[in-house]
């Protein structure tokens, strides 16, 4: 069964990204598990064959490559099975890769959801989401004034909070990378930020820290940054030693 982005994200169950490991590592739907139908090298070979000899030749080679992997594919998927849940499957465009995995899992008796338009449609929805009319309260102040701690306290009190630096895995120019973790790609930063915003009630205020548009190597989307610039600013006026 195919599904729109909204329905796909709302449905419970394990979510599998069946694109190649390199595609997944660059960016993916947050929470998705990589269950690659083809390796990076195999994907490159199939792409070259498709251009040179056409779709049928690429499909025939794809079948040959996938055949020996079917048992491992089944076992990997079943490790994440939850009772009565769907297996949620997507590839780049919602085409043959996700379609084949859905067909295979359905053949084994499992329920599946295929994302219509694939990861590409998810990206479109995420980017469109940054143009919503957000109701922000922006928390500003000097570095070291405890803005991040205040955001966490607000979240603990039930307020809606978006931790931009946490999503970007970065704690500002003075502190550098948080816990030495590598920052996500900008595309993955947008995905995680978009999903975090999706969980908020847009009719209520959302607290967010005052940031420049660049957070390390990550860039705040233009629509979101404009909304932040136009929002009320609450300044933390506290000496660093306190």
Q: Closest Cα to residue 189, out of 232, 130, 241, 131?
A: 130
Choosing from 15, 91, 102, 218, which is the catalytic residue? 91
DSSP string across 49-90: HHHHH-HHHHHHHHHHHHGGGHHHHHHHHHTT--TTPPEEEE
Active-site annotation holds for 91: yes
Q: Closest Cα to residue 151, out of 194, 205, 189, 195?
A: 205
- For 181, which DSSP code? P
Location of structure tokens 């694109």: 19
Which of 161-197 are b and which e, b meaning 16 or more Cβ less than 10 Å from the residue's Cβ? bbbbbbbbbbbbeeeeebeeeebbebebbbbbbbbbb
| Distance in Å from the first CA to the final CA of the chain | 57
Catalytic residues: 91
């Amino acid at each position: 069964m195919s599904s729109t982005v909204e329905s796909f994200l709302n449905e419970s169950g394990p979510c599998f990204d069946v694109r190649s490991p390199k595609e997944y590592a660059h960016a993916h739907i947050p929470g998705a598990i990589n269950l690659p139908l083809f390796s990076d090298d195999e994907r490159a070979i199939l792409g070259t064959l498709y251009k040179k000899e056409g779709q049928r030749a690429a499909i025939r080679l794809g079948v040959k490559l996938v055949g020996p992997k079917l048992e491992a594919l089944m076992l990997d998927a079943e490790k994440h099975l939850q009772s009565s849940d769907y297996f949620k499957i997507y590839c780049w465009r919602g085409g043959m890769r996700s379609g084949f995995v859905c067909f295979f899992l359905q053949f084994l008796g499992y329920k599946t959801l295929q994302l219509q338009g694939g990861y590409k449609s998810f990206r479109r929805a995420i980017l469109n989401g940054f143009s919503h009319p957000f109701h922000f309260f922006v928390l500003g102040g000097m570095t070291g004034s405890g803005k991040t701690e205040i955001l966490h306290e607000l979240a603990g009190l039930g307020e809606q909070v978006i931790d931009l630096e946490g999503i970007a895995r970065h704690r500002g120019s003075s502190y550098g990378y948080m816990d030495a973790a590598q920052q996500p790609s900008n595309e993955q930063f947008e995905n995680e930020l978009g999903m975090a915003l999706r969980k908020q009630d847009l009719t209520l205020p959302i607290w967010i820290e005052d940031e420049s548009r660049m957070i390390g190597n990550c860039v705040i989307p233009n629509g979101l940054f404009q909304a932040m610039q136009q929002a009320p600013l609450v300044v933390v006026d506290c000496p660093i030693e306190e």
